[in-house]
Every structure is written in C-alpha cells, then in structure tokens.
C-alpha cells in the first residue's frame, strides 16, 4: 500500500497571509495592559461596600466598580 503526501507546503497561502495583514491593520491599540491585583480590588470593593452603608446584594457591582476605578487611577498615573 503506497501513501501519497499532499503536494502543498506547510507555508500559509498568499491569500491567508494577506488576510492576516488585513486583520492586523484593523487592530486598534488600546494602550498598555494595566494589572490590578485581586487583593487591591478586594480592598477597594470592601471600601465601596462600607461607603454604601454596608448593604448586601451589590458585591458584583462593587467588584466591577473597584476594578474600573483602580485601572483608571493607574492609567492616570502612567501605569
């Protein structure tokens, strides 16, 4: 039994290379990645919780707000 190997090369086709270039051209640079630690978010979320009068039921919103605030602060301070 003989096995035939495909005749195409392992290189991407010209069309796929052009599509990759096109995709890159459409990429929007949003700036550097800002890292915020879990601990920092937790501290800020707890402060937000306390500022709201320690009412329960908004933990996810507090977490998201804390994360957003910390990222904005770090962006304003240059990362």
Residue 8 buriedness (CB in 10 A; 0-12 / 13-18 / 19+): exposed
Q: Say which residue, 60 or 28, is predicted with more confidence.
A: 60
Residue 74 buriedness (CB in 10 A; 0-12 / 13-18 / 19+): middle
pTM score, two decimals?
0.60
Q: Say which residue, 77 or 63, is predicted with more confidence.
A: 63
Identify the band that residue 14 occupies on the pLDDT scale cut at 50, 70 and 90.
low
Q: What is the pLDDT of residue 36?
A: 95
Please write the tens of the pLDDT for every residue from 18-29: 565 555 566 666
Across the range 10-33, mean pLDDT stands at 63
């Amino acid at each position: 039994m003989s096995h035939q190997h495909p005749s195409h090369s392992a290189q991407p086709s010209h069309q796929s290379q052009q599509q990759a270039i096109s995709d890159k051209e459409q990429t929007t640079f949003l700036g550097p990645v800002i890292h915020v630690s879990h601990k920092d978010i937790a501290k800020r979320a707890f402060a937000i919780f306390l500022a709201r009068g320690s009412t329960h039921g908004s933990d996810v919103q507090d977490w998201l707000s804390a994360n957003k605030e910390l990222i904005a602060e770090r962006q304003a301070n240059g990362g």
